[in-house]
Amino acid sequence: MGQAGKQTGKEKNFVSCVVYLHNDEAVVGDFLGKISRVMQDNFEKYEIICVNDGCTDGTVEQIHAFLEGAETAGIQTRAVSLINLSFYQGVETAMNAGGDLAVGDFLIEFDRCCLDFEPELIMRIYRRALEGYDVVSAAPKRGVSFSSRMFYALYNWSSHFRYHIRQERFRIVSRRAVNRVNQMNVYVPYRKAMYMNCGLKTDTVVYENRDVVKKARNREERSNRNGLAVDTLIIFTDVLEKFSLLVSTVLLVFLVMMFGWIIYSIFSTVRPVEGWMSLMALMSFGFFMLSVMLTLIFKYLAVILNMSFRKQRYVVEGVEKLSK
């Protein structure tokens, strides 16, 4: 971990900011302006990498407009790059592309252009990282949607990893953590989970967030998010195995009850419809064995997924060097 420069008072570490963009025309200029000021005031060397994930509005035009007016506003834009993905590919794939281009000692990953925090929080998170944490996340205290809370609750319940996850606005990751995750697998399907469970020291700082207007997502974005949630639960948790085991337990209890009822009916005056009890017992036994087999299959698939993920597959149309 580097230390602050003694002469300039600025940090010596090289910091790469990776910003995800998808139809953020209304906020991208203000967002880049505030992030750039924090970088300019606190770091000697930094870069800002914007990842255009198939924007269909004026997001790219607003980036160029920001750069044109930055000098007038007293903002120095150093090494600003723009990665243009060939089509919309989702936040995880896009951020993988940005991370591959970044060369900093630390990566600051912004999954969305949302400034419901004071810009000074970035330095607070950075200084926390300097205390010996390889991954430090900034998590809002309020404003998390019900669906997100349900996803994180299910993930944390069914995951056997040490650290729990929650919704974040941004995170600072050391180069050591980035290298560790890249060594684990070529393709990073869900960075948050892999960072939090790469074996290095992590921390989450919860802050009082301001109210912001939530960004509406189109059908393509919702579909991508839902697919990511399902993939994450399958890859990183044993939720299917636990669910199958729960079903097996319920069916086993029902099967025991059926056999108990059969024994009771033999020694009592109760006479159920002929053949009904044996049929129900046979069906219960059959469903129970099927559930057990599914549990074993899910466990086997979990082992395979732990051994190997899919390879990287993002498609880049081009990279623009917007400033020097």
Q: pLDDT grade, residue 114 (50/70/90)?
A: confident
Query: What does the pLDDT read at residue 171?
Result: 96
Task: Give the pLDDT score at 136.
Answer: 96
pLDDT digits (tens, 9 = 90+) for 237-287: 777 777 777 877 887 787 778 777 777 777 777 666 666 666 666 677 777
Residues facing residue 206 across a β-bridge:
139
Mean pLDDT of the residues in the chain: 82
Q: Which residue has the higher pLDDT, 187 or 10?
A: 10
Of 307 and 210, the structure prediction assigns the larger pLDDT to 210
Residues 185-194, mean pLDDT to the nearest whole number: 76
Strand order in the sheet with 80-85: 202-207, 135-140, 170-174, 106-110, 15-21, 46-52, 80-85, 316-321
DSSP string of 260-278, one letter each residue: HHHHHHHTSS--PPTTHHH
Q: Do 230 and 206 contact (CB within 8 A), yes or no?
A: no
Q: Compute CA 126 distance to the chain's CA centroid, rounded to the nearest angstrom.
A: 20
54-93 per-position pLDDT tens digit: 999 999 999 999 998 887 777 777 688 999 999 999 999 9
Kindly report the number of other CB atoms within 10 A of residue 213's CB atom.
9
Q: In the CATH hierarchy, which fold is given to the domain comprising 15-237+311-321?
A: Spore Coat Polysaccharide Biosynthesis Protein SpsA; Chain A (3.90.550)
- What is the reported pLDDT for 260? 79
307 pLDDT higher than 60: no
Q: How many CB atoms sit inside 10 A of residue 311's CB? A: 8
* Domain ranges within the chain, ordered by starting residue: 15-237+311-321, 239-307
* Number of C-beta neighbours around residue 192 at 10 A: 22
Q: Which is it for the CA torsion 40, 41, 44, 46, positive or negative?
A: negative
Q: What is the pTM of this model?
A: 0.77
